[in-house]
Structure 1
Amino acid sequence: MKYTPWFIRAIVILLIIIVALTSCNKDKDENKITIGEVTRSVFYAPEYVAVAQGFFEEQGLEVDIQTTAGGDKTMAALLAGSVDIALVGAETSIYVYQQGAEDPVINFAQLTQTDGTFLFARNPDGEFNWDQLKQSTFLGQRKGGMPQMAGEFTLKKHGIDPQNDLELIQNVDFANIASAFASGTGDYVQLFEPQASIFEKEGRGKVVASFGTESGHLPYTVFMTKQSYINDNKAIVQKFTNGLHKAQAWVDSHTAEEIAEVIKPYFKDIDPAILVSSVNRYKEQGTYATDPIIDEDEWNNLLDVMSAAGELKQRVDSQTIVDNSYAEQAASTK
């Protein structure tokens, strides 16, 4: 099976840039943690709740969140040491491991357990059927990223060959996908919230299906860090995971309206009603993990999705780059 090396090439280039920019800043307070998140999204609501509700602060941690747009940039920042912990798709840790990294990236706490994208139709026609996508133009996500792989996995499950049964567009940067669709590109598009709700309100079409529901549970976005960081900061990693789990329990037990109110400072330009509907859509389909443990079934489903996309060199045992000890400890603490 052919493996696409774009991800590693991008990381090498970005590493050179990041190391140059950060080489002069070596001093660090061990209780300060910098998170690099792959994007700013309602999809990551428990992360913002953990900060806003003081759950990390209760653990004696000062947490700073930086948005490092794109999986390659986020991983490069982690490997270069400009962030301590990355919030990104678990597939990125597999790509790095398969390149023989001496200091592997370890997944230690899961945030979301489903895909976060929705199938958005420009001209929905009656009751939706997946066959409607055949011969259409589909504005997808970047090749090798989890949104695109989960999308292709779902299409194949419904008997659609992404390469032959539709016109698949994959050359639009993540940040420009919504604007490309708004300008007229594609009959269907794969969108995260709140963009899907915004487009519905603007009358650009409607959500007709959920890739999260269709592709099943998997460690879609995970907090991960280098093995060397864990070795040197075991107590910090545990405290971080404890705070995260408390936020997960809070999100699970509160309404979309209450969650939206707490995370509102992170989405100042979003209509409060849109924020509520976006959170509710994710809560209804069980997107937010209720504990940080990455279980074996979820991991194997991730490998199946990657294999179906032709992006997996070989199956990687979860115990190789997953350390659930911190998550299990956090989940056992009331």
Structure 2
Amino acid sequence: MKKWIRTGMAVAGIALLASGCGKQAEPLEKVRVAEVTRSIFYAPEYVAIEKGFFEDEELNVELKTTWGGDKTMTALLSNGADIALVGSETSIYVHAQGSDDPVINFAQLTQTDGTFLVSREKVENFEWDQLKGTTFLGQRKGGMPQMVGEFVLKEHGIDPHKDLDLIQNIDFANVANAFASGTGDYVQLFEPTASIFEKEGKGHIVASFGTESGHVPYTTFMAKESYMNKNDETVDKFTRALYKAQQWVDQASAKEIADVIAPYFEDTDPAIMETVVDRYKSQGSYATDPILDQEEWENLQNIMDEAGELPERIDHDTLVNTSIAEKASKE
């Protein structure tokens, strides 16, 4: 009798195994994301991928770095990407050109500027007035780093075009090299370059533009309105996964975050990565939810207006959809 029971169980097991082998798992939906640059500043994005939050939502995020706002927006508008991670100012520029398929901001990733003021010489008790009469190596004209940089200088009573020698005709990728080669007394740099320069004795971090400028939608996930209308469930899933990552980053230590995103920065010293993550966390650069609110939107436009780069003032509701992020934050 026991022999027959064992035989029956074996047959049932084989049948079950065969059934399992024959069943195909549903393929994950591919979402093509173009990021404006590769940066520790975007840690929650990489956490969402590495921790499987996108996969949990049955999404396969195909990430590519497009190196520049213009190239990123071109990829999005030409259907080379489904979603773009780039500064919200680009959606305003596109709208001003009369696009009949507006680019909609639906999930905010970072909520402050990500650059730091680095001096060539060590400065004790730094005051912003010390910039007057110096050579300042800034960022490309029309981009958020440059606009925020000038906004902060003006907030401290400095006219960037009169009170110092402002250099802003160097490509983003070459700014750090120009400073390292001897150009400028001060420079506006992203991490981890700022911390690397400090460690190597090439410069000294004296101030944070992110702390000085307040909350602003510095980098946001956006998509064409037509894509969002046709793929509303996909955008919901994407935003839910992002929110999970934002919450995880908010609760995790700098070392835990640095360990998770390490595969994206293989050439960066782990200790530097941890320092950078801690710096961004402590100044509140990583948004803890994906909601781009009215106040942040107005602050962005004020900064653009002050820089003379705002083509026209756009209502928050025209280019920002908060309903998706609000829904994700409540689930």
Give deviations 1:24-79, integer Å, cap 9, x for gaps.
xxxxx981011111100000000000000000000000001100011001001100
Distance 1:64 1:173 in 2: 27
Distance 2:152 2:76 in 1: 30
- On the 8 A contact 2:137/2:166 being kept in 1, the answer is yes
Distance 1:264 1:198 in 2: 16
2:273 is aligned to 275
Shift of 1:99: 1.0
2:7 is aligned to none
1:125 is aligned to 123
Shift of 1:293: 0.3
Distance 1:314 1:81 in 2: 26
1:153 is aligned to 151
Distance 1:206 1:42 in 2: 19
Say which of 282, 285, 308 aligns to 1:284. Answer: 282
1:199 is aligned to 197
Say which of 242, 246, 249 aligns to 1:248. Answer: 246
Tell me the TM-score normalised to structure 2 length: 0.91
Say which of 30, 33, 44 aligns to 1:32. Answer: 30
Tell me the TM-score normalised to structure 1 length: 0.90
After TM superposition, what 4+ stretches of structure 1 lie above 4 angstroms from structure 2?
none
Indicate the structure (1 or 2) with the bigger Cα radius of gyration. Answer: 2
1:140 is aligned to 138
Distance 1:30 1:85 in 2: 17
2:46 is aligned to 48
Distance 2:177 2:67 in 1: 16
Aligned residue-pair number: 305
Shift of 1:261: 0.2
1:106 is aligned to 104
For 1:48, what is the secondary structure of its paired residue? helix
Amino acid at match of 1:331: S
For 2:118, what is the secondary structure of its paired residue? strand
- On the 8 A contact 2:119/2:185 being kept in 1, the answer is yes
1:299 is aligned to 297
Distance 1:135 1:64 in 2: 47
2:207 is aligned to 209
Distance 1:328 1:282 in 2: 24
For 1:315, what is the secondary structure of its paired residue? coil
Shift of 1:124: 2.5
Distance 2:117 2:123 in 1: 14
2:324 is aligned to 326
Amino acid at match of 1:116: G
Give deviations 1:222-274, integer Å, cap 9, x for gaps.
00010010011000000000000000000000000000000000000000000
Structure 1: gaps spanning 5 or more residues: 1-28
Amino acid at match of 1:204: K
Distance 2:106 2:123 in 1: 43
1:186 is aligned to 184
For 2:221, what is the secondary structure of its paired residue? strand
Distance 1:69 1:241 in 2: 23
The percentage of counterpart residues that share the same residue type is 66
Distance 1:257 1:210 in 2: 21
Distance 2:142 2:166 in 1: 14
Shift of 1:313: 2.0
For 1:209, what is the secondary structure of its paired residue? strand
1:19 is aligned to none
Distance 2:116 2:50 in 1: 27
Shift of 1:314: 1.9
Amino acid at match of 2:146: Q
- On the 8 A contact 2:83/2:223 being kept in 1, the answer is yes
Shift of 1:315: 1.1
